[in-house]
Amino acid sequence: MERTFEVVALVEEVAAPLGIHPVVVGGMAVYFWTAREEFVTYDIDVVMEVPRELDEHLAALGFSRVADGRHWRLEDTDVLLEAPGAQVDRDAVIAEIALPSGRSAKVLSRVDVLLDRLDEFQATGHQIVGQQVLVLIAGLSTDEEAVLDARAAARRVGVILKTMRRLADDLESGRAHPESDELHEIARAALRAEYSPRS
């Protein structure tokens, strides 16, 4: 993980003068906040815009852009960077990681990672995303719970959050793990509740 964040910190060094600050999101952010290796893969998702000038800086660092336009491979290494979007949410909280090298890297906060995963799970019902939601919920502090509650309704993930919290509690109490069909139904029901016209 240290190497991953050092790579992002190097990118930050060349991007910051352009006003661009890469933020680690996705699976690596889930790993950072859960310390759980069960889900982690070593591709790096960052949110940042990549104008031509930054692309040139990345090339100077040794990155080559893949033909799909949104992945960069650091040549002769096992580093793959993906920049899937240009901006994090306006209300997002970004945490800073101070690295032994003296550099720093940015990662989306635990609450924001969870809000994003809730949103994705509600939209897709993917089991792996639902499992990450459950693990992230289990690791929340009391303060984070309060922030999450305050922000979930605005993101239209209040219903799914309530359901997944209950499921996390039930799992801790010994219930069997939910099958894929059950998770899809949970997601569909929450989506209907959030987006159906109110009577």
Q: Which amino acid is at 177?
A: H
CA distance 141 to 198: 33
Based on the shown chain and the rule CB under 8 A, indicate whether residue 139 belongs to the binding site for other proteins. Answer: yes
- What are the DSSP E strand ranges found in 69-193? 71-74, 79-85, 94-98, 104-108
Task: Tell me the C-alpha distance between 178 and 10, whole Å.
Answer: 41
**Distance of alpha carbon 187 from alpha carbon 199, whole angstroms:** 22
| Shortest Cβ 14–other proteins spacing (Å) | 20
Only one of the segments 38-46, 49-57, 151-159, 188-196 lies at the binding site for other proteins (rule: CB under 8 A); that segment is: 38-46
> In the set 21, 36, 162, 165, which binds other proteins (CB under 8 A)?
36
Are the C-beta atoms of 130 and 163 separated by less than 8 Å?
no
Nearest to other proteins of 53, 179 (CB atom): 179
* CB nearer to other proteins: pick between 47 and 135: 135
Residues touching other proteins, count (CB under 8 A)? 50
Q: Does 126 bind other proteins (CB under 8 A)?
A: yes
In the region spanning residues 5 to 24, those forming contacts with other proteins, defined by CB under 8 A, are: 5
For residue 76, is it left (φ>0), alpha (ψ between -120 and 50) or beta?
left
If binding is defined by CB under 8 A, does position 175 make contact with other proteins? yes
Using the rule CB under 8 A, which residue among 78, 90, 102, 199 binds other proteins? 78
Q: How far apart are the first and last CA of the chain?
A: 49
Using the rule CB under 8 A, give the single segment among 17-25, 54-62, 94-102, 149-157 that binds other proteins: 94-102
∠ CA 166-130-161, nearest 5°, is 40
What residues make contact with other proteins under the rule CB under 8 A? 1-2, 5, 32-36, 38-43, 66, 68, 71, 73, 78, 80, 82, 93-100, 104, 109, 124, 126-129, 131, 134-135, 137-139, 168, 171-172, 174-177, 180
